[in-house]
Structure 1
Amino acid sequence: MPFALYMLALAVFVMGTSEFMLAGLLPAIAAELDVSVGTAGLLTSAFAVGMVAGAPAMAAFARRWPPRLTLFACLIVFAACHAVGAVAPAFPLLLATRVLSALANAGFLAVALSTVATLVPENRKGRALSIVLSGTTIAVVAGVPAGALLGTAMGWRTTFWAVVLLCIPAAAGVLHGVVGKPVQTASGSFTPTLRDELSQLRSPRLALPMALGALINGGTFAAFTFLAPVVTETAGLDGGWISLVLVMFGVGSFLGVTIAGRLSDQRPGLVLAAGGPLLLAGWIGLALFASNPLLLLTLVLVQGLLSFGVGSTLIARVLHASSGAPTMGGSYATAALNIGAAAGPVLGASVLAAQLGTLSPVWVATVLTATALVIMLLAGRVLTQTAADVPVQPA
């Protein structure tokens, strides 16, 4: 695999650490800035909203820029937002920095995923995607727990400064590993017009995996964002166990992305048909047995594997289906990921605010996953179609 993929994964690790680290810091942020835990959880949603809006906007704005320039600029803006967030005296300013940093993250990820699609043959996109997304899962395994421990020892603001420092080697890696030429099509000609690329969204082959990816990711984030109170209140463990639970989820997600990356190009139907029902059963199991610490740890590991395995396969399908949109396809995949990441915590916060219990976000994940499975069942073969399977319309 091209060296550039690993440089992109490094940068995604830094950004993933920032995105996910709040799961272990929400109680501390809420206490210092005098807001509820549910309100603090909106920091995750604000980040995801910025990603949803920013991905297509940034991709369209910078579509003629050299990828290396766009990726480097996004990393610098991302670091600056975290520096401001580290000294924010009030919740509204911190919320604003999350939105702005998300715009930078969105631009980076959209261009990165579009770049992935040009670095490897069509039948290896899923594996290449798994390498880049492994940066996110490693962030959950290492970056997020380290951030939680650092936040516990030195305050949550210290974790924001740590992200600023991590952006330095990530930016150097992008400058060293990514070429400075504009993205080109497989034939070597420059890309189609923006209107042509946007017209791809009308295709069911593209719209369907985007919608399903949003539902699966929404369920993942609804449950993941509010794992901390499940650990301390439902399972009755002390705060130190939060980091271990996050590590278990991250290990599972890394395994899920890695395994799915090797299967999603050739056997996407198998991954979805087997992984989808198991994912639903796992959310139900977590909601019923989270009070048992051993079962909680086991189910968190399994759910990390299944949610990222199924989710990354759906995102790989987005990249396959958007091959006619070489500069915007990455933004479609990014939007699919983050529509769910925005909606999930909002729904989780809503059920918590309604005093439905600390496990209510897990039930939200159950409902969203069940909805996705019904749609998969009705969609039939459209979801796993390749470009070669689509009949050519007569002129």
Structure 2
Amino acid sequence: MPLPLYLLAMAVFAMGTSEFMLAGLLPDIASDLDVTVGTAGLLTSAFAIGMIAGAPLMAGLARDWPGRSSLLGFILVFLAAHVVGAATSSFPVLVATRAVAALANAGFLAVAVTTASALVPPHKKGRALAVLLSGTTVATIAGVPGGSVLGTLLGWRATFWAVAALCLPAAIGILKGIPARPAQEDETDGPALRSELAQLRSPRLILVMVLGALVNAATFASFTFLAPVVTDTAGLGELWISVVLVLFGAGSFAGVTSAGRLSDQRPGVVIAAGGPLLLIGWPALAVLAEEPVALLILVFVQGALSFALGSTLITRVLYEAAGAPTMAGSYATAALNVGAAVGPLIAAASRSTAAGDLGPLWVSGTLVATALLVALPLRGVIAAGRSDEVLR
């Protein structure tokens, strides 16, 4: 894989740390800003909603800009939003900074996905996406748990400052390592924006976007509210939150890495094998959450299965949107973040039911079941990926 892919992954690491770090900071933020933990969970949804709207909007605005300039501008706006967020004492202002950061993140990721696809041969999109997403999974292994420890020791604001600092080397890497215009961006006869938007009328594209959104909703529903499960249900100390986040991140890295090759050529295998296991895993975690050993094992397994399945479905979005070369990344980003917005909202509501802290885990199982019910009668469509057509 080309070196620029890894430079993009470094920037995604910084942004992924920010996106996921709230899972370990919600109780501290809620206490400091005098809101409930459920209300603080809206920060995750605000970020995701900003990315849903921002992905196509920013990609559309930046489609004629040089890739390097777009990526650099987005990451600098992202940095500024975290500086303001670290300094504010107002919850509404913090929500606003998350929305601005989300717009910048959405634009960056949409352009980065398109850039990554342009840097490799057409039949290696899945592997390129796996490298790019490895920035996110490494963030869950190192960045997010590190942020959780930093937040525990120095307060949640220190974590926001740390993310702002992470953006600086990422920006330098983009400036030095990403070509101003990758080779495929030099083409001037690409499809018009209207033609690219028309791809959204494709039933196959809509199907894989819906499935990707459902699986990601399941992932974020539980991931956002893991901290109370660790401390209240399992009875572990606050520092164990970081351990659990590391395990989830390690699982997600293993999942996205192992699915990288299969998502190009054998997506049906990943979905058929991983889907039922993921469905079983969330209720099992809810039932066994009081047992620390079972909790630690299942968190790793669910991280691996969630990201293997999710990254495979998002790779299918890129193949199905091949006729939208500058907008495909935004469609994939939007699908991911529809799930990231909806999942925590449903999970937050479930915490006020009899299920309590375990409600989000049951919500995740329900969302995966819904995805499998949708996918089952259409499994032939999902398995017959565009990569097969390229490889013939």
Distance 2:281 2:69 in 1: 42
- Range with bigger deviation, 112-121 or 221-230: 112-121
CA offsets per residue over residues 356-387 of structure 1, 9 Å max, x none? 31100011100100000011101131113334
Aligned position for 2:215 = 216
The 1:183/1:220 distance shift into structure 2, 3 A limit, reads farther
The 1:198/1:239 distance shift into structure 2, 3 A limit, reads same
Aligned position for 1:142 = 142
Distance 2:121 2:320 in 1: 14
Q: How does 1:360-371 map to 2 (within 5 A)?
A: 360-371=359-370
Pair 1:107-2:115 in alignment = no
SS of match in other structure, 1:264: helix
Q: How does 1:66-85 map to 2 (within 5 A)?
A: 66-85=66-85
Contact residue 183 and residue 190 of structure 1 kept, 8 A? no
Distance 2:241 2:78 in 1: 27
Distance 1:126 1:387 in 2: 11
CA RMSD of aligned residues (A): 1.4
Aligned position for 2:166 = 166
Aligned position for 1:53 = 53
Pair 1:372-2:367 in alignment = no
The one-letter amino acid of 1:307's match is S
Aligned position for 1:191 = 190
Distance 1:380 1:132 in 2: 27
The one-letter amino acid of 1:137's match is T
The one-letter amino acid of 2:130's match is S
Pair 1:290-2:289 in alignment = yes
Alpha-carbon offset, residue 148 of structure 1: 0.6
Distance 1:56 1:183 in 2: 23
The one-letter amino acid of 2:34's match is D
Alpha-carbon offset, residue 182 of structure 1: 6.8
Distance 2:120 2:239 in 1: 42
Pair 1:154-2:154 in alignment = yes
Distance 1:134 1:247 in 2: 14
Distance 1:185 1:378 in 2: 38
Aligned position for 1:116 = 116
Alpha-carbon offset, residue 351 of structure 1: 1.1
Distance 1:206 1:157 in 2: 40
How many residues are matched? 389
The 1:389/1:150 distance shift into structure 2, 3 A limit, reads closer
Q: How does 1:327-366 map to 2 (within 5 A)?
A: 327-354=326-353, 356-366=355-365
User: Runs of 5+ in structure 1 lacking a partner?
Assistant: 391-395
CA offsets per residue over residues 123-151 of structure 1, 9 Å max, x none? 11101100000000000000001101111
The one-letter amino acid of 1:207's match is I
Alpha-carbon offset, residue 117 of structure 1: 1.4
Q: How does 1:304-319 map to 2 (within 5 A)?
A: 304-319=303-318
TM-score by length of 2: 0.97
Distance 2:302 2:55 in 1: 27
CA offsets per residue over residues 222-256 of structure 1, 9 Å max, x none? 00000000001111111111000000000000000
Identity %: 62
Distance 1:388 1:149 in 2: 42
Distance 1:233 1:82 in 2: 30
The one-letter amino acid of 1:145's match is P
TM-score by length of 1: 0.96
Distance 2:98 2:282 in 1: 29
Distance 1:353 1:132 in 2: 37
Alpha-carbon offset, residue 307 of structure 1: 0.2
